Amino acid sequence: MRTYGCQMNEHDSERIAGLLEMDGLEQTESFDDADVIVLNTCCIRENADNKLYGQLGNLKKLKEERPDLQIAVGGCLAQKDRDGIRERAPHVDVVFGTHNVGRATDLLGHARVSGPITEIIEESESFPSALPVKRDAHHAAWVTIQIGCDNSCAFCIVPSVRGKEISRPYSELIGEVEQLAMAGVTEITLLGQNVNSYGRDLTLKLRGTQVSAESSELVGEAWVRGPHTARPLFSDLLCSVAEVSGIRRVRYTSPHPKDLRPETIDAMAQVPEVCEHLHLPLQSGSDDVLSAMHRGYTADRYIEKVDAARRQIPDLALSTDIIVGFPGETDVDFERTLEVAAEVRFDNAYTFVYSPRPGTEAAELVQRFVPAKISAERMERLRRVIERTSLKGNESRIGHDEEVIVEGQSKRDSEMLTGRTRHNRLVHFPAQEKIRPGSYAQVRVTEARTFNLVGELLEVTAAAKHRTRIPVVSS
């Protein structure tokens, strides 16, 4: 498995891996050892396209040497490019999109018998979370609460490849979290393209109808007891997930600033299990650019929402997404982005140079494209601002005792363990004893770096609960 893109893709890959294991395969990290190679793709930026087609070019020789090797391409780029993938890479056996993840093994079986196949459908057959799963981390899990997006951001192709917004039934989500907790999962991340609006489509269907006890299966008891208005259910969901026995941390991504409601901030402030970390995509600090992007808010409105959140959650950590060089962005527009970034003091930011995606409104604004050299210069200036505020945020944690969930051994130093705080900060610390991933520990922060912290272990406060699977080898 190779996955490109966001957490939604990572979650889909877990499900695809689960299906393949049920079909009798075992996962390998080497292309040379694989009988099946699955590339789960992203199409948000042009670089993702280049990575995929570069990888497919590298696999061509392997396919020629081993004709029985199967190569499958799924995900957002497959949904967008469709037959174009096999036109550019005829050695691909299976192409499937975002709405038929559950068909991966069936399509591979079909290809083995009848030859290459492309199957792209326009509506989802099921939510990915309804499928089997193979997770790399047994103590943490993503839960998809909705698919699709009803927004129309000028730069984004997600609505085209993920479809319209559809929310999962409330009781189904709580049932999944309960099962995960029983399996030892203690940290849940709720996933959606716009999690703030979860449930609005469900309550819209019920508004004006006869509400019964069974309605709580769809929209939860809080909505059934309260006013039957067409409203999002996300704050209700945060509270309900946090109430599940065994769940210690609840996170979510990604919200849309225009839909961040006061009751969601209330839940973050009042429910101990909901982490004090908010990922709130800014995209630009210029009102003119935000308007051209169709984002639905101004820079001042964004700042107001951040200030409101920090008033209730003084220890809030804030991360964001920012696009540099959107068509028509002027020097003045970019200066405003720098000003907002410095004022808001982001702890972390995912920054991108604008990449035109065919099929989006912004891709048609060719005459307004910002030269690559100017975008690169702006990106460097933005990077310096973000790294400065990130370092200051990390320095503010020196001397603090932080609860971390242990993720495992540091990739760079075998003598160090890595853990993650409630603020989603990474902490490296030495440990004399072996500590299972998924355990909770108290660590005192002793050093701050731009992208992580260093600390000393005080004590392990809770051992990992999940069971370790032991492979059974038949004689």
The stretch 88-110 carries a mean pLDDT of: 90
Q: What is the CATH number of the domain that holds 292?
A: 3.80.30.20
The stretch 133-144 carries a mean pLDDT of: 80
Q: Which of 351, 369, 395 is the last residue of a domain?
A: 395
Residue 472 lies in a domain: no
Q: Residue 453 sits in which domain range?
A: 401-462
The partner residues of 72 in beta bridges, in order of sequence, read: 38, 94
Cα dist from 349 to 144, 281, 383, whole Å: 23, 9, 9
pLDDT of residue 135 exceeding 80: no
Residue 30 lies in a domain: yes
The partner residues of 143 in beta bridges, in order of sequence, read: 190
405-419 tens-digit pLDDT: 999 998 888 889 999
pLDDT of residue 175 exceeding 60: yes
The CA distance from 116 to 119, in Å, is 10
Q: Which of 70, 101, 119 is the last residue of a domain?
A: 119
Q: Which of 119, 139, 173 is the last residue of a domain?
A: 119
217-266 tens-digit pLDDT: 999 999 999 889 999 999 999 999 999 999 999 999 989 999 999 999 99
- Name the pLDDT band for 474 (thresholds 50, 70, 90): very low
* 373 and 410 assigned to the same domain: no
* 182 and 244 assigned to the same domain: yes
* 145 and 271 assigned to the same domain: yes
Q: What is the CATH number of the domain that holds 26?
A: 3.40.50.12160
Domain count of the fold of the chain: 3
Q: Which of 351-360 are b and which e, b meaning 16 or more Cβ less than 10 Å from the residue's Cβ?
A: bbbbbbbeeb
Task: List the structure tokens of 280.
Answer: 């709130």
* 223 and 315 assigned to the same domain: yes
Structural Rg of the chain based on CA atoms? 23
pLDDT of residue 475 exceeding 50: no
Q: What is the rounded average pLDDT for all residues in the chain?
A: 91
Of 191, 223, 80, 184, the closest CA to residue 127 belongs to 191
